[in-house]
Amino acid sequence: MKNKALYVLLATLVAFAIVLGLGLANRTTAPAAPNDNASSTPAVSSSASPRPSGAEIKVTGKVVCLPHKDQGGPQTMECAYGIQTADSKYYGVKDDSGMIIKFNIGDSVVVTGGVSVPDETERYNVVGNLMASNVTKAQ
């Protein structure tokens, strides 16, 4: 009887450890803290069209939640900040300093930074991704 109770206890502990391990394996990590020491680089171009990877541009538009490429099926509720230009082109904004989140959805802004062409795994409907070096309110 004592061995049976130990066996049930041990089996329960093993099952609990497996479930706990699976739960920890599926957790995602929190994003890194913003870097307040980011430097600003002046823009070289004032065009809002995509450029080869790494080119620096200045894009004027309104702050939006980027639309997903795949509009079919269930959609997640996250808001990936981006810019929608006057000609309805979308740019993702990578912003380690947290400059873009200081603005509200719908605010008109000017984003300066390096641009890269999205790859085939991009989940949002963007023509490019901006690594923001500066974000200011549009005049």
Mean residue pLDDT of the chain comes to 74
Tens of pLDDT, residues 90-121: 999 998 888 999 999 999 999 999 999 998 89
> Which CATH superfamily groups domain 1-139?
Nucleic acid-binding proteins (2.40.50.140)
The structural domains of the chain, with segments of one domain joined by +, span: 1-139
What is the pTM assigned to this prediction? Answer: 0.59
* C-alpha span between 133 and 126 (Å, rounded): 19
